[in-house]
């Protein structure tokens, strides 16, 4: 799928992985709508992008993915400004075992809601152009992370949702591919703050650091390059792409029927 002229929406776009996804989409010719709850970081990033790519290629909306009203408004304005949506990157996420209900709300409930609301514009059955949805899961969506049971559960939920939506899309004719991105540890604010966010599992911080030593840490640029494959390669649908410093691989799931 060539990205020239395509319209992408990225949640959690202001910082970390979302920032790198936005950059790689722009570098490949897409227009990008940035959604983020952090207004200052979003406006600063938009200003930088306007200088680099011109003001026609991006715009930023302050949008909390937990708010149905704010998502609806952002998607409506995106379609009015750019004529449709071809790519959705559900990337906003947090890790906070202390505030575990909020972790479920942002990582899973909001991701489902943004997807359903975006389908109203993207689904070919609704007059949309089809396209691709990439959900940011994690290695913790495939393997349990001992210090983060709720984060692990949300990321397993994202992988399951992605795979089921892929099947629903194929069976119904939405014209939309669904893929999950499953990186290991990535050098971002979320990663840096892990020791402060383990809640009742803070006694397991050292065990977590051992895992970091074992898996090593990715840069956001490395992950964005793998993300691009899920967006552009039309053969990838219902996939979970593992991204680690020593390489990438597609998860092989059991086939029971």
List interacting residues with ligand LZSIJSXV (CB under 6 A).
95, 138-140, 143, 145, 147-148, 184-185, 191, 194, 208, 211, 215
Does the protein bind ligand NAI through residue 37 (CB under 6 A)?
yes
- What are the E-state strand segments in the chain? 7-11, 31-36, 58-62, 87-90, 131-136, 176-183, 240-244, 247-250
Q: Is 186 in the site for ligand NAI (CB under 6 A)?
A: yes
What does the alpha-carbon distance between residue 161 and residue 163 come to, in Å, rounded to a whole number? Answer: 6
Residue 236 CB, nearest approach to ligand NAI (Å) = 18
Q: Which stretch binds ligand NAI (CB under 6 A): 47-55, 58-66, 162-170, 232-240?
A: 58-66
Residues 183 and 210: beta-carbon distance below 8 Å = no
Closest residue to ligand LZSIJSXV in the complex (CB): 138
Confirm or reject binding of residue 179 to ligand NAI (CB under 6 A): no
To the nearest whole angstrom, how small is the minimum distance from the Cβ of residue 183 to ligand LZSIJSXV? 7
Q: How many CB atoms lie within 10 A of CB 208?
A: 19
Q: Measured from the CB atom, is 58 or 188 closer to ligand NAI? A: 188
Q: Min. distance of Cβ 96 from ligand LZSIJSXV in angstroms?
A: 11
Q: 174 an active-site residue?
A: no
Specify the DSSP class assigned to residue 248.
Answer: E
DSSP tag of 191: H
Alpha carbon dihedral 158, 132, 39, 77, in 10-degree steps, equals: -130
Q: Which member of 3, 74, 165, 190 binds ligand NAI (CB under 6 A)?
A: 190
Q: Which of 53, 151, 174, 250 is catalytic?
A: 151
What does 157 bind: ligand LZSIJSXV, ligand NAI, none (CB cut-off 5 to 8 Å by kind)?
Answer: none
CB-based burial label for 257 (10 Å; 0-12, 13-18, 19+): exposed
Q: What is the CA radius of gyration of the chain?
A: 17
Judge contact between 106 and 66, C-beta under 8 A.
yes
Least distance from ligand NAI to the Cβ atom of residue 54, Å? 23
Which residues are tagged catalytic?
151
């Amino acid at each position: 799928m060539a990205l020239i002229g395509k319209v992408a929406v990225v949640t959690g776009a202001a910082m970390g992985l979302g920032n790198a996804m936005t950059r790689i989409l722009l570098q490949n010719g897409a227009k990008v709508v940035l959604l983020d709850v952090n207004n200052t970081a979003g406006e600063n990033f938009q200003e930088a992008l306007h200088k680099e790519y011109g003001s026609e290629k991006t715009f930023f909306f302050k949008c909390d993915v937990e708010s149905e009203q704010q998502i609806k408004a952002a998607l409506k304005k995106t379609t009015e400004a750019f004529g449709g949506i071809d790519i959705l990157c559900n990337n906003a996420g947090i890790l906070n075992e202390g505030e575990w209900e909020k972790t479920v709300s942002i990582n899973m409930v909001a991701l489902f809601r943004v997807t359903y609301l975006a389908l109203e514009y993207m689904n070919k059955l609704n007059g949309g152009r089809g396209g691709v949805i990439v959900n940011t899961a994690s290695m913790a969506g495939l393997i349990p992370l001992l210090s983060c049971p709720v984060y692990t559960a949300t990321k397993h939920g994202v992988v399951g949702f992605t795979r089921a939506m892929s099947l629903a899309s194929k069976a119904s004719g939405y014209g939309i591919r669904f893929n999950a991105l499953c990186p290991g540890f990535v050098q971002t604010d979320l990663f840096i703050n892990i020791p402060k966010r383990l809640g009742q599992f803070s006694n397991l911080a050292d065990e977590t650091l051992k895992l970091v030593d074992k898996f090593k840490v990715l840069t956001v640029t490395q992950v964005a390059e793998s993300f691009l494959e899920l967006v552009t390669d039309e053969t990838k649908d219902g996939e979970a792409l593992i991204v680690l410093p020593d390489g990438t691989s597609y998860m092989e799931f059991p086939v029971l029927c």
